[in-house]
Amino acid sequence: MTQELDLWFDPAKCLINGQWLSPSGGQELPLSDPSTGACIGAIARGGAADIDAAVAAAEAALAGDWGRANAVERGRVLFRLQQLVLEKVDHLARIEAIDVGKPLKQARADAVALARYLEFYGGAADKLHGQTIPYLDGYTVYTLREPHGVTGHIVPWNYPMQIIGRSVGAALATGNACVLKPAEDACLTALAFADLARQAGLPDGALNVVPGLGSEAGAALTAHPRVHHISFTGSVATGVHVQTAAAQNVVPVTLELGGKSPQLVFEDADLEAALPFLVNAGIQNAGQTCSASSRILVHRPRLDEVTGLMAARYGALKVGPALADLDVGPLISARQESIVSGFLDRGADLEKAAEGVLRDVPEGGNYVRPTLFAGVTPDHVLARDEIFGPVQVIIPFDDEDEAIEIANGTDYGLVASIWTRDGARQMRAAKKIRSGQVFINNYGAGGGVELPFGGTGRSGHGREKGFEALYGFTTLKTVAAYHG
């Protein structure tokens, strides 16, 4: 294990019922550094038996101290956990940077966001309440928001800390007990987080982590008959597997499946304000972002100007190892590099407006040059499919109706933004765009822990983040009392 990681736990173990345990099959998976391609250690290859033990531990926590903790106490645990995360922000950032290949400043922003989720959900825990409902004479009717019970969390490799914060944070705030299956390519901060939760006083079994393969530990978790809710972030194909498995047990799922998110730049846009968002939303985390903006739709009168400005930014982008902390790091894996390179090959017929520069990249790392294509038509594969790499296409449009049609012209609908000074156009377009979030004259609102987030179409369903997530992690009970 590389010294640089300086882990205080053994990553080849699962954390079940507050204990660090070797996986029952005794097997491990290699841990590789995306910046160099080097094997830097091993993680646990958990399987169905470990998932079963984790579910049993979660059930015991619900039957014990965690199930008895009231909302104020749950909130306080999350506040203590927030403090521990803040104390370790730089350490967590370093672990994530090495494990996932994120430039250090982006990994640090993720750790800070994790702390903010804990602050938000810690504060919200005792503010979630039901309703009283006027009914027939002689009745008092009210609703109770109750935890589902055992919740399963399947987390991808692109933003482990943020996704754990938004899903596990909301699930614990509402009194569920969690079983977390992190991605095999990015499980270190999940294990670190669960250990900090233990230190913060979260009772044993309330949060269990079982690393392993998606097809083994992940599939076992989604199919487990005693798991009462699944939250999944990842690809459409795996999301379909997850929903199909959950359907056999008739349990609710939240699916967040990525997108092909557009930014619409109208002729009256403030380009100086827009420019950083246009590029950053495409290249942040090397484009491996569910809410990446991979399509830039530009009103024809400003087409050359926008293309020129974006191309100049692209030309200045530097790509290198995570700890060099440049603009763009490596992709997560050789597999992801080959997926993205395949898309770049399929763009050979397009006009390449600009690309970034590789800077001292180690031979075995998973690097691609950020690439901007111009003058792309909406039916091109690069304008339709999610690439999950630092690649953006510029698509021209002639009027507002065409812009909306192109924006709505993919199977996805996660995030969109509109750049215009025209207030009426802002309102019209925001209503007509099919998307879970629409931003006006910004993109992403700085992360937006408080803002409900989720998709339409193949971007998935259910909402995470904000207060809305608390409804998703609870079930509603109606009590109708007749007293005459």
Binding positions for ligand NDP, rule: CB under 6 A: 154-158, 181, 183-185, 213-215, 218-219, 222, 233-235, 238, 241-242, 256-258, 290, 336, 339, 386, 388
CB of 149 to ligand NDP, least distance (A): 19
Return the residue nearest ligand NDP (CB atom): 214
Torsion sign across C-alpha atoms 377, 381, 384, 388: negative
Q: Which of 14, 178, 187, 290 is catalytic?
A: 290
**What b-and-e string marks burial along 61-77, b requiring 16 or more CB atoms within 10 Å of the CB?**
bbeebbbebebeebbbb
Of residues 193 and 388, the one with the C-beta less far from ligand NDP: 388
Residue among 187, 370, 204 at smallest CA distance from 288: 370
> What is the closest distance, in whole angstroms, from the C-beta atom of residue 179 to ligand NDP in the complex?
12
Quick count: other Cβ atoms within 10 Å of Cβ 305? 12
- Minimum Å gap between C-beta 204 and ligand NDP is 24
Distance in Å, CB of 60 to ligand NDP, minimum: 24
Please state the closest distance from residue 269 (CB atom) to ligand NDP, in A.
Answer: 28
The three-state DSSP-derived secondary structure of 357-419 is EECCCCCCCCCCCCEEEECCCCCCHHHHCCCCCCEEEEEEECCHHHHHHHHCCCCCCCEEEEE
- CB-nearer residue toward ligand NDP: 156 or 466: 156
Q: Kindly tell me which of 160 and 466 has the beta carbon lying closer to ligand NDP.
A: 160
Min separation Cβ 228 and ligand NDP, Å: 16
Neighbours of 10 (CB within 10 A): 14
Closer by beta carbon to ligand NDP, 131 or else 338: 338
Between 257 and 407, whose beta carbon lies closer to ligand NDP? 257
Whole-number Å distance between alpha carbons of 468 and 170: 10
Long-range contacts formed by 278-282: CB under 8 A, 24+ apart: 278/306, 278/310, 278/443, 279/310, 279/313, 279/314, 279/317, 279/392, 281/417, 281/443, 281/444, 282/370, 282/390, 282/391, 282/392
User: How many CA within 13 A on the CB side of residue 48?
Assistant: 7
Q: Which is the catalytic residue, given 28, 119, 216, 256?
A: 256
Paired residues of 32 in beta bridges: 39
Rounded CA separation 186/44 (Å): 12
Of 193, 176, 180, nearest in space to 54 by CA: 180
58 vs 275 by CB, closer to ligand NDP: 58
In contact, 370 and 326? CB cutoff 8 Å: no
Return the number of the residue (152 or 175) whose C-beta is nearest ligand NDP. Answer: 152
> What tokens appear for 254 in the block?
């939240």
The closest of 3, 309, 48, 323 to 179, measured between CA atoms, is 48
Nearest distance in Å: CB 332, ligand NDP: 8
> Cβ of residue 217: shortest distance to ligand NDP, in angstroms?
7
Residue 175 to residue 355: CA distance in whole angstroms: 48
Residue whose CB is less far from ligand NDP, 93 or 187: 187
Give Cβ neighbours of residue 392 (< 8 Å, ≥ 6 apart): 279, 282, 283, 293, 294, 295, 296, 310, 371, 372, 373
Sign, CA dihedral 91-95-96-97, equals: positive
290 is catalytic: yes
Q: Which residues does residue 261 pair with via DSSP β-bridges, in sequence order?
A: 293
Report the catalytic residues. 256, 290
